[in-house]
Amino acid sequence: MNPQINENNALTGFGAHGAQEVNELQKALSLSSEYASTLPGSMTGGAALAVEDLDRTLKLVTFGMEHLKLWKDIVKEKQTQTVHEFNIQNSYGQEVSPFFQMGSTPQGTDASYNREIAIVKYLGTYGQVQHNLTLIQAAHGPVVAREVKNKTVELLSRNERAMFEADSAINPLEYDGIEATMKGKEQLAKFKSTAFAGFNAAGTSDTVIIDKRRRS
């Protein structure tokens, strides 16, 4: 309060109360302006009597399982070996003219198959919980169970990104994601389609895989 008001008791502030009475009101217990922004050990006066209320619901402001789209859609098969083999059919036959002369037979072609391998790669994450946290009644449920869930979602989210961006040529520990696989295959002639070669302009690629980022 202004010192000049304290010296002049004739002045009135609130209704008929004088400055001295107003000063006495300031001595009442009250919440300080530092409440809720001060450590509990430093709370004094009325602030020490106030009980804080913690919401029972944990607010999630980051990604969740509902944001993992590709992982849910792809086919997942259990592997029992460190190397997985699979077959690829890359053509129904050679690109030849299907027309033939009356009385003769069409030109024969054979489908093309290839066997390829995929090396099993390993993904994981690691988290810790202090033993004391397992002994207390923590908010939002058991701490260990919640941390296990957190690490599971974290690992799946990292794998979701890796399925697009992983490249074994950059990091040998990674598998090849969609982008690396497409770029690697389009360089091989056996994976290129010539079905629409007649429509190609000079200097254009005959691949059916198009990198849209190169287009203006």
Q: What is the domain count for the chain?
A: 2
Dihedral sign of CA atoms 35, 37, 38, 40 in order: positive
pLDDT, tens only, 93-105? 887 888 999 999 9
Q: What is the pLDDT of residue 173?
A: 95
Same domain, 121 and 64: yes
- Does 153 fall in a domain? yes
Identity of the amino acid at 126: Y
Same domain, 44 and 126: no
pTM here?
0.64
Q: Residue 19 in contact with residue 5, Cβ under 8 Å?
A: yes
Same domain, 45 and 116: no
**What stretch of H or E contains 149?**
helix 143-165
**Cα–Cα distance, 169 to 179 (Å, whole number):** 12
Same domain, 131 and 184: yes
**Does residue 134 register a pLDDT over 80?**
yes
Same domain, 139 and 183: yes
Same domain, 122 and 143: yes
Helix axes 178-185, 143-165, angle to 10 degrees: 20
Domain range for residue 13? Answer: 1-53
- Does 117 fall in a domain? yes
**Percent of the chain topping pLDDT 90:** 31
* Beta-ladder partners of 91: 112
Same domain, 183 and 158: yes
Q: What is the pLDDT of residue 193?
A: 61
- Does 42 fall in a domain? yes
Q: What is the pLDDT of residue 56?
A: 87
Residue recorded with tokens 């390829």: 116
Residue recorded with tokens 């490249």: 167
